[in-house]
Structure formats: C-alpha cells, structure tokens
Amino acid sequence: MSTTQTYRVDGMTCEGCVRALLGAIRKVEPAAFVQVDLPTGTVTVADIAADAVRAAVERAGFDFGGTVEIP
C-alpha cells in the first residue's frame, strides 16, 4: 500500500527551486512519486519517511515546515 504525505517547504521562489527540491528528494528514492507545488509551497511524496524528506529539503537549502493536513 502506498503512503502519500504533503509537507510545507518554505523558501521556494522559482522553478529553479522546484528542480533543486525534486533532485534532492529523488536522490533519496529515485522511483518515488514526488510533486512540488510552488504556489502553495508544498511537496507531496509517496513512500518516503518524513525524516528522509526533511533531510532532503534541508540539503536543498529550504526550510521544512512539517506536515500539511489535506481535508
């Protein structure tokens, strides 16, 4: 079963930021689902632990804002 979670990422301002974040997360799990939404400042990932996402976000130079609850 796939587990999907959305996290807030602070500091993204452009498509270059999106590419940097995607690259950092895909280094953790190259085949994982990753979707970055620049306007909302969020990233949605599947089957990657929160601590691994946090580390990737911070390595890419952004601030990890925690879990976003999707209604």
pLDDT under 50: residue ranges of the chain:
none
- Quote the tokens at residue 28: 């953790």
Cβ proximity of 33 and 48 under 8 Å: no
pLDDT score at 71: 63
pLDDT score at 1: 54
Residue 3's identity, in one-letter code, is: T
Nearest one of 32, 60, 37 to 48, comparing CA atoms = 32
CATH 3.90.650.10 is right for the domain spanning 4-67: no
Check: pTM over 0.75? Answer yes or no.
yes
Query: Three-state DSSP class for 66?
Result: strand
pLDDT score at 55: 97
Residue 15's identity, in one-letter code, is: E
pLDDT score at 69: 81
